[in-house]
Amino acid sequence: MEQKTFLQWSAACTIIGASLLCTGYWLRTDIEKELIDNFASTQGFVSSVLVAAGSLFLLCGLPGIFYKYVKRCGKSAFIASGLSFVGIIAFHLGTLALYFVLPVLVTHNSGTRELIYSDIPPFPRFAIFWALSLLLQCTGLTWLGINVWKSSSHSRVAAAILMTGALVFVAAPLYSFHLLKTANTVVMLGLAWEASTVFIEKKERNKELDSVTA
């Protein structure tokens, strides 16, 4: 019973977190020089709050979702889940930190504002951290998706969505960083889809119990 409660709590947190993150990212203005003043707008602040809340819910929910994969697929899924978890959380928390720093750079003084206009990344170490988190996330999600696809027909839709999201993430730095929002939305959809199966399975179990006791 405690395990079922844990999985249901994790699923609820994952669905809420995924929804908040998607909303927060789509509210955020694209990082374009001509839109620089929008970083410090009310909409930008609301976006940052939603991303912060979504990251917290996702941090609470993902361990339970990945536990399902590990239980089903074994050691390989454990490693893939670890890479995915670290990559996803690092990516979102790193992006969140940038979201809160950008308004300060825009409004503090002309010197900090010029950092945004520069073609050189103002935070090279952050750029490396962000790239590594993206690499971990893509590797982990692809590996996990392959494992889940092979081991369970019930989660193949979620596996396909997660692998698609990972591929779009890979394409973003190569073609357009605007694809990051799309990639994140696809990955969040895959996680929410898998989380929803927890409640679907619960409903099916309840029906079975009702039919037995009837």
pLDDT tens digits in sequence order for the chain, 214 residues long: 566 788 889 999 999 999 999 998 888 776 665 656 666 677 777 888 898 899 999 999 999 888 888 887 788 888 999 999 999 988 888 877 777 776 666 565 565 556 555 555 555 677 788 889 989 999 999 998 888 888 766 678 888 999 999 999 988 888 887 888 899 999 999 999 988 888 876 666 656 555 656 5
Hey, what amino acid is at 92?
H
Q: 89-128 burial by CB neighbour count: b if 16+ within 10 A, else e? A: bbbbbbbbebbeebbebbeeeeeeeeeeeeeeebeeeeee
Structural domain spans, the chain: 2-213
Locate 176 and state its tokens: 């357009």
At CA 94, angle to CA 89 and CA 95, rounded to 5?
105
pLDDT attached to residue 154: 65
Question: In whole angstroms, how far apart are CA 83 and each of 3, 33, 80, 135?
Answer: 23, 33, 5, 9
Query: Please, which residues have CB within 8 angstroms of residue 102's CB and are 6 or more apart in sequence?
Result: 39, 40, 44, 116
